[in-house]
Chain A
Amino acid sequence: MSDVVRIKRISQESKDTSTLAFDWGAHTVPGQFIMVWIPGIDEIPMSLSSTGSEKTVTVRKVGDATSAIHALQEGDRIGVRGPYGNGFDLNGLRTLVVGGGVGMAPLMPVLRTVYADLVIGARSADEILFEEEARRYCSNVEISTDDGSLGFHGNAVQLAEAMMDKGDYEQVIACGPEVMLHYLFQACERRGLPCQLSLERYMKCAVGICGSCMLGRERVCIDGPVFDSERLRMLPEFGRSRRDPAGRIVDL
């Protein structure tokens, strides 16, 4: 479904990250994403950070298109199409959720739906996203920062490993920088713990025909963006390389 929506509300989450809320009737599930069109600038993939009848996207400013989104005001309009992708399988297993940076965005609808423990990781305290809201849903929220300015001094994977060894989790659900996800996956494999990880690749069509988002034989836009351990094992490129807009291999 392709639509033009009006931005109802903008909330600043951190110095470089904002959430935009809009009403949009599409039925969506946690872990799905949309393509956001900013006319004259670009069209880019964004995870849904809320999946009810009011939808939100949480956008970190990193370049032209995300800066253009940050310059929008309440009442402005954007194009949206989707929802795309498979979403998480919310299966009732005892879950540890791990979010790195803006990777928290697609995890928020998961935390609102299932009971889970949570690790939020970021470079420093002022980049920790959604802590307050997450504490409303999760009794156990742990924070890690690379610079030690809040919570555990280290990375989210180290903290998650310590929690895995104490808790009796049956699965890990995560999103964040791919290098983090790669280490997290290895930590889970060592413990025989199944994972569902949400990955990113360069997207153009988002409907599974152009091949821009290929990761091995999988299309991240439609076969993903969420991949389980079984499929991750079949993806030697995971954690190593991606493709640029021309389809060239680039090291991560």
Chain B
Amino acid sequence: MTDLTVSISSIKMDNPSMLASGILDETGDSLLRMMSVGAGAVVTKSIGMLPHDGHPNPCIVETADGYVNAMGLPNPGMEEFAEELRVIMPTPAPVIASIYASSAADFATIAVSMEEAGAAGIELNLSCPHASGFGMEVGTDPATVGSIVAAVKDAVKVPVMAKLTPNTAELVRIGKAVEEAGGDAVVAINTLKAMVISPEFARPVLSNRYGGLSGSAIKPVGVRAVYDLYRELEIPIVGVGGICGWRDAAEYIMAGATCFQVGSAVGTVGPEVFTRIIEGLEAFMGEYGYPDLDSMRGAAHE
């Protein structure tokens, strides 16, 4: 029997898959749907203090096996979203609330409201590459990252994970800052800064001009990021970027990931992608003699 259970501090999961932030996770019902297709945990849309419409359309472009998106953090705001969570609690799988803010104090305020609404963990979106005033600026400076993690850790009891941007040469230093500030895990990676231009109209397609690339194309970047972080960090790493099948998930685990998240593949493959990845991973682990995830984690480092 292969054991797929895993935990990050107090967050206990039946399997190591999580729904990535920003993917079918803006409403209570959509979170429940993703649990029903097998996600071991679900991460919510990044929630801010106030309601936010996001960028005007076009905010997404399809690429081969992925997307360039500039949603611009649309969300109903902390208060309405807390209600959304209260209605669905208790849930069959843990809900991790992704949050964003422009100051450490606001991060802490939102984290408290999500914890009160039933979130089993907090994911700090320090890395959204396309919302000016938020994200990129905070997430590329180790001292700022450390102060945000510390403030949120002080404010809540549930585990706190920090999501990192790949759009920096400082990835490992930022990861270290999270660990030193008491963060329970790091999540890597968010999307890669990107642009798509329409030759016919001679202009960028996205209303925000810049967007973030996700999907298969970014998997090797994500795997490398997790591999580098695993060498330097003690805290668990959640791998994300381009996972659409069990092989991709296995790569991340062997690079050092404790859990992994799936985003774009919910669109390119479909919500059932979770069931397929878990079944495939279980079969692979059985055949290759990995009784549990601990025995497989970081295997590519040995």
Contacts and interface: CB of A to CB of B under 8 A. Distances in A.
Contacts of B75: 246-247
B61 A204 contact: no
Q: Chain A's interface: helix, strand, loop or mixed, by majority?
A: loop
Interface string B52-65: 11101111111000
Nearest to A243: B27
8 A-B pairs with least C-beta separation? A209-B267, A43-B57, A4-B200, A43-B58, A211-B26, A245-B53, A217-B33, A246-B51
Interface in A97-128: none
Contacts of B45: 211, 247
Q: How large is the interface on A (under 10, 10 to 19, 20 to 34, 35 or more residues)?
A: 20 to 34
Interface of A: 2, 4, 35, 37, 39-40, 42-44, 77, 79, 81, 204-212, 214, 216-217, 219, 243-249
Contacts, number: 114
Contacts of B251: none
Interface in B66-111: 67, 69, 71, 74-77, 80-81
Given A79-B198, A204-B54, A205-B267, A245 B26 contact: no
Contact of B61 (A2, A44, A246, A247): A2
Contact of A219 (B24, B62, B74): B24
Nearest to B32: A217
A43 B205 CA distance: 10
Interface of B: 22-27, 29-30, 32-33, 45, 51-54, 56-62, 67, 69, 71, 74-77, 80-81, 198, 200-201, 203, 205, 263-264, 266-267, 270
A214 B30 contact: yes
Q: Chain B's interface: helix, strand, loop or mixed, by majority?
A: loop
B102 to A, nearest CB: 18
Most B CB within 10 A of own CB, among A37, A81, A205: A205
B71 A204 contact: yes
Given A204-B54, A210-B24, 14 more contacts: A2-B61, A37-B205, A43-B57, A79-B198, A204-B59, A204-B71, A205-B69, A207-B62, A212-B74, A216-B29, A247-B26, A247-B51, A247-B75, A247-B81
A43 B74 CA distance: 16
B198 A214 contact: no
28 contacts: A4-B200, A4-B201, A35-B57, A39-B201, A43-B57, A44-B57, A77-B200, A79-B200, A81-B62, A204-B54, A204-B60, A205-B267, A208-B267, A209-B263, A209-B266, A210-B59, A211-B25, A211-B27, A211-B30, A211-B45, A214-B24, A214-B29, A219-B30, A246-B53, A246-B76, A247-B26, A247-B75, A248-B76
